[in-house]
């Protein structure tokens, strides 16, 4: 089996770590880190490109040398440079870099002078007082290392976006009441809507920074103060989340916000462009010959370097800068563009609300339609529906549609895709529904070939509409299934099927890179809540965040369509409630007629 992109990325990261400890050229190290990121995010496998004899040096950041190393890794599962580095340094020392306060220089000293190779050995050396004697170290540093290792043991590395949001929003409402505060914005990966957040970066404008800093570190939930200077402070909250806060003057708000939103890679690229134009960008503004020319808003920062405004979700240095220069950035979808939701559950299976409650909640969100898609019988733990119970639910939906104004319920099912790719309900049952959402809920560990075939076969069913949570992963709990997603997306395009972007905070599945692929293949994505209660509709904001990270526009999203347009796209003869049929006839909506697939 050839190496996957994730394997290649891990090798490049390891090489970068080891080179850094060796004291190699920092730009060479950066090249490996860049390459690790780029390969890790690539939406197509490097080995697949090689099979097609495509030139890997066409990938930005991959030159002749790295291209050769990728080929070496793919064909031999080894990398001779890494093998050589391993003979010079024990690979475990790279673990020491993860200890806060330890960088490559200190790790090198610890290894060469004290033969410290592991975190355990580091802890013993600190406890025995051997570290303070090293040049450049002192008693305080030794104590910090001791505490960092102790804290490291039970540290949660990243927080799911929705969890971080709870802490961020509470802290934000505390901070807006700080003395003299004008603006408070949570920046960083939170603002970029990454699926997980490592820490919170908060930018504040205020005339006087010091009272704000004092107010911040007095927050009830602050467990530990890591640093607190005049304009910048870092704390750890009781939940374990680190918060970095920066206070700047009003005139620097845009520059500071840009800087603290990142990503790091995006910022480096933008500053490089500035440098080429004889400008300097820092968190206070954009400068020419020491004179401020921009920085009060992010728009002004981008304008100063000849770029159009880049929304935070795009700032990953994945090609957005080239498009911003050409003024061809996508017009990203917004939460308000949604006209309905195509995946929701009720009390009939594992949901918590009745049909009526879900319908009324959807109406309150201002939507035209809501698809009811309870589980099918195979999912016994959720009391999945058999044909009889499903038929009863359909009757209830018909009755509600006749009664309720301003919202239409669609009759659907979240049907299990069985191991062989068949669907969990008979064809004649599925044929009666408005839409069929297919999902894998078992046998996650099948081989890539079998898992891919399973899904392709399911999509070939004439009534199949949407593939739910395509990757099957649960963030930080379950890895994604091994699936050839490129093939699945192409097949969806051929069959006229759609892919779901499931907005549940623990799923956020389709991944952003696959959203980009779907967009390129012309496959529409349905951003669905998978609501199990009326509260879950609010999760759609995270789904829309992920869609925006995947460069999706309103036109790329299935459920931004009106009911009439949706009906054409999903190609079902929906039995419309009598009052709507009457209106249709009056308006002579020819375009609503279903089209043959």
Q: Using CB under 7 A as the criterion, which residues of the chain lie in contact with DNA when the complex forms?
A: 25, 27-28, 30-32, 35, 57, 60-67, 81, 97, 99-107, 132, 135-142, 144, 188, 199, 201, 227-234, 242, 244, 260, 264, 267-268, 271-272, 274-276, 280-284
Query: Which CB sits closer to DNA, 201 or 368?
Result: 201
* Least distance between DNA and beta carbon 11 (Å): 13
Query: Which CB sits closer to DNA, 65 or 520?
Result: 65
d(Cα 416, Cα 289) in Å, to the nearest integer? 64
* Least distance between DNA and beta carbon 153 (Å): 17
* Least distance between DNA and beta carbon 531 (Å): 35
Please, are residues 519 and 493 in contact by the beta-carbon 8 Å criterion? no
Query: Which CB sits closer to DNA, 9 or 370?
Result: 9
Query: Which CB sits closer to DNA, 131 or 547?
Result: 131
* Least distance between DNA and beta carbon 269 (Å): 8
Query: Which CB sits closer to DNA, 104 or 254?
Result: 104
What is the number of helices (H) and of strands (E) in the chain? 24, 17
Distances (CA, A) of 394 to 154, 371, 387, 428, 462: 50, 11, 10, 14, 20
Residue 518's H or E segment, with its range, is helix 512-521
* Least distance between DNA and beta carbon 139 (Å): 5
Coil, strand or helix at 464: coil
Q: What is the 3-state secondary structure (H, E, C) of 186-246?
A: ECHHHHCCCCEECEEEEEEEECCHHHHHHHHHCCCCEEEEEEECCCEEEEEECCCCEEEEE
d(Cα 460, Cα 25) in Å, to the nearest integer? 53
* Least distance between DNA and beta carbon 316 (Å): 16
* Least distance between DNA and beta carbon 220 (Å): 21
Query: Which CB sits closer to DNA, 324 or 358?
Result: 324
| Token couple for 390 | 């499903």
Please, are residues 369 and 408 in contact by the beta-carbon 8 Å criterion? yes
d(Cα 386, Cα 405) in Å, to the nearest integer? 29
| Token couple for 260 | 């603290």
Check residue 174 and report its DSSP letter: H
Query: Which CB sits closer to DNA, 71 or 490?
Result: 71
Query: Which CB sits closer to DNA, 83 or 585?
Result: 83
* Least distance between DNA and beta carbon 452 (Å): 32
Q: How many CB atoms lie within 10 A of CB 103?
A: 13
Residues composing the chain:
597
């Amino acid at each position: 089996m050839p190496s996957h992109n994730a394997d290649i990325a891990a090798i490049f990261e390891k090489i970068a770590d080891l080179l850094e400890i060796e004291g190699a050229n920092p730009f060479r190290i950066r090249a490996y880190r860049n390459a690790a990121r780029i390969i890790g995010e690539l939406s197509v496998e490097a080995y697949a490109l090689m099979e097609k004899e495509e030139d890997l040096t066409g990938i930005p950041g991959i030159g002749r040398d790295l291209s050769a190393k990728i080929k070496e890794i793919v064909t031999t599962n080894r990398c001779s440079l890494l093998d050589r580095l391993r003979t010079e340094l024990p690979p475990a020392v790279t673990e020491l870099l993860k200890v806060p306060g330890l960088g490559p220089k200190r790790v090198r000293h610890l290894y060469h002078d004290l033969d410290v190779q592991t975190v355990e050995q580091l802890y013993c050396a600190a406890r025995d007082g051997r570290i303070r004697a090293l040049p450049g170290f002192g008693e305080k540093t030794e104590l910090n290392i001791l505490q960092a290792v102790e804290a490291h043991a039970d540290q949660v590395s990243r927080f799911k976006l929705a969890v971080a949001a709870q802490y961020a929003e509470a802290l934000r409402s505390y901070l807006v009441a700080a003395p003299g505060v004008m603006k408070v914005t949570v920046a960083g990966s939170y603002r970029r809507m990454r699926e997980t957040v490592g820490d919170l970066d908060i930018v504040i404008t205020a005339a006087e920074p010091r009272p704000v800093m004092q107010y911040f570190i007095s927050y009830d939930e602050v467990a530990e103060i890591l640093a607190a200077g005049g304009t910048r402070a870092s704390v750890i909250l009781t939940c374990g989340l680190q918060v970095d806060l920066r206070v700047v003057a009003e005139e620097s708000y845009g520059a500071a916000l840009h800087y603290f939103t990142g990503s790091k890679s995006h910022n480096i690229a933008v500053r490089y462009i500035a440098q080429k134009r004889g400008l300097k960008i820092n968190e206070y503004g954009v400068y020419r010959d020491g004179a401020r020319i921009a920085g009060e808003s992010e728009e002004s920062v981008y304008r100063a370097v000849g770029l159009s405004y880049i929304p935070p979700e795009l700032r990953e240095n994945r090609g957005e800068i080239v498009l911003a220069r050409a003024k061809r950035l996508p017009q990203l979808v917004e939460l308000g563009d949604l006209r309905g939701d195509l995946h929701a559950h009720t009390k009939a299976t594992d949901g918590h609300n009745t049909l009526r409650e879900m319908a009324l909640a959807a109406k309150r969100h201002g939507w035209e339609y809501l698809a009811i898609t309870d589980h099918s019988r195979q999912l016994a733990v959720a009391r999945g529906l058999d044909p009889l119970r499903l038929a009863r639910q359909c009757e209830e939906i018909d009755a509600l549609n006749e009664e309720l104004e301003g919202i239409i319920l669609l009759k659907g099912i979240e049907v299990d895709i069985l191991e062989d790719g068949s669907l969990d309900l008979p064809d004649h049952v599925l044929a009666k529904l408005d839409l069929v959402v297919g999902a894998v809920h078992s046998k996650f560990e099948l081989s890539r070939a079998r898992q891919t075939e399973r899904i392709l076969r399911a999509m070939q069913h004439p009534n199949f509409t949407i593939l739910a949570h395509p990757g099957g992963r649960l963030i930080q709990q379950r890895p994604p299934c091994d699936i050839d997603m490129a093939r699945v997306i192409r097949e969806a395009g051929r069959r006229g099927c759609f892919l779901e972007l499931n907005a549940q905070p623990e799923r956020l599945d389709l991944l952003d890179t696959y959203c980009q692929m779907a967009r390129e293949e012309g496959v529409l994505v349905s951003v669905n809540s998978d609501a199990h209660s009326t509260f879950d509709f609010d999760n759609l904001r995270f789904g829309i965040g992920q869609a925006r990270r995947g460069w999706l526009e309103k036109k790329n999203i299935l459920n931004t369509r009106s009911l009439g347009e949706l009906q054409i796209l999903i190609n079902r003869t929906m039995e419309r409630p009598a009052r709507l049929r009457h209106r249709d006839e009056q308006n002579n909506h020819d375009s609503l007629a279903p089209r043959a697939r």
